[in-house]
Structure 1
């Protein structure tokens, strides 16, 4: 049975693709590529942003 989670807006900086792998061009000893995994700074790797109503407001 599917679980229903509340709808949250997708991060507009990463479009929901919050983690990317970038190849450095080098290879490991077994032949696999060396990758750097980078997370979106805005959503910290969740792919979603907090709704405006929950955003911190103040002076």
Structure 2
């Protein structure tokens, strides 16, 4: 099994394998560098989801 990396949202540290409680972790990520970028990645994903939701809402309302 490949090693997974997790970003600990409480401490800001990258963990190799699950070492903390699930509520504190973001991941899994395939590399340590990717896990270290977790806050940026999560922000980018949230922005993309928000844009998708806004576009869908606009489409459902008839493009107004």
TM-score, length-scaled by structure 2: 0.25
TM-score, length-scaled by structure 1: 0.25
Structure with higher RCO (Cα < 8 A, 6+ apart): 1
Q: Which structure's residues are more often strand, by fraction?
A: 1
